[in-house]
Amino acid sequence: MSRLVREALQNNPNLKATAHRLRAAKQGSIIARANRLPSVNASGSARRSDGFDAPDSQSYALSLNASWEPDLWGRLRNLQNASNADYQTARSDYQAARLSLATNTAQAWCNLVTAQQQLNLAQKTLDSYQTALPVVERRYKASTLRAVDVQFARNNVASAQRSLRVRKLNRDNAARNLEILLGRYPSASITSSATLPSLNKKIPVGIPATLIERRPDLQAARYRLYASAQDAEAARKNLLPNLRLNASASSNDSTLLSALKPENLIFSIAASIAQTVYDGGTLNARAQAALERNKASIQDYTRLSLNAFREVESAIAADHSLAQQQTFLEKEVRQTQLAEKRALSDITLGIEGSSFLEYLEAQRRSENAAISLIRLKNQRLQNRLDLHLALGGSY
Reported as a single tens digit per residue, the pLDDT across 281-301 is: 888 998 999 999 999 999 999
pLDDT digit string, tens, across residues 136-183? 788 788 777 788 888 888 998 999 999 999 999 999 999 999 999 999
Q: Where are the alpha helices (DSSP H) in the chain?
A: 2-11, 13-34, 75-141, 147-181, 216-237, 256-260, 282-349, 356-391
CA distance 186 to 165: 19
What average pLDDT does the structure give for the chain? 88
CA distance 343 to 349: 10
Contact 228, 290 (CB under 8 A): yes
Mean pLDDT calculated for residue range 216-220? 93
What's the predicted TM-score (pTM) here?
0.82
- The SS3 of residue 116 is helix
Judge whether 97 lies within some domain: yes
Contacts with 10 (C-beta within 8 Å, 6 or more apart), sequence order: none
Judge whether 47 lies within some domain: no
Task: Grade residue 53 by pLDDT with cuts at 50, 70 and 90.
Answer: low
Mean pLDDT calculated for residue range 208-233? 90
The most confident of 49-53, 57-61, 291-295, 362-366, by mean pLDDT: 291-295
Is pLDDT above 60 for 340? yes
- DSSP-assigned states of every residue in 27-70: HHHHHHHHTTS-EEEEEEEEEEE--SSSPPEEEEEEEEEEEE--
Judge whether 282 lies within some domain: yes
Judge whether 212 lies within some domain: yes
Q: For residues 343, 348, 352 and 353, what is the CA-based torsion angle, rounded to 10 degrees?
A: 30
Judge whether 256 lies within some domain: no
Report which of 329, 308, 304, 305 is spatially closest to residue 386, judged by C-alpha positions. Answer: 308
Beta-carbon count within 10 A of 296 CB? 12
Judge whether 198 lies within some domain: yes
Is pLDDT above 90 for 186? yes
CA distance 3 to 261: 68
pLDDT digit string, tens, across residues 103-131? 999 999 999 999 999 999 999 999 988 98
pLDDT digit string, tens, across residues 255-265? 666 666 676 67
Judge whether 249 lies within some domain: no
Q: What is the CATH number of the domain that holds 111?
A: 1.20.1600.10
Contacts with 231 (C-beta within 8 Å, 6 or more apart), sequence order: 78, 79, 82, 290, 293, 294
Q: How far is CA 381 from the centre of its chain?
A: 19
- For the chain, the domain total comes to 1
The per-residue pLDDT for 104 is 96
The per-residue pLDDT for 45 is 79
Judge whether 55 lies within some domain: no
Segments forming the whole domain that contains residue 148: 2-36+62-240+275-391
Task: Grade residue 226 by pLDDT with cuts at 50, 70 and 90.
Answer: very high
Tell me which DSSP letter residue 212 carries.
G
- Angstrom distances, CA of residue 103 to CA of 20, 178, 280, 365: 21, 12, 52, 34
Pick the more confident residue, 111 or 246: 111
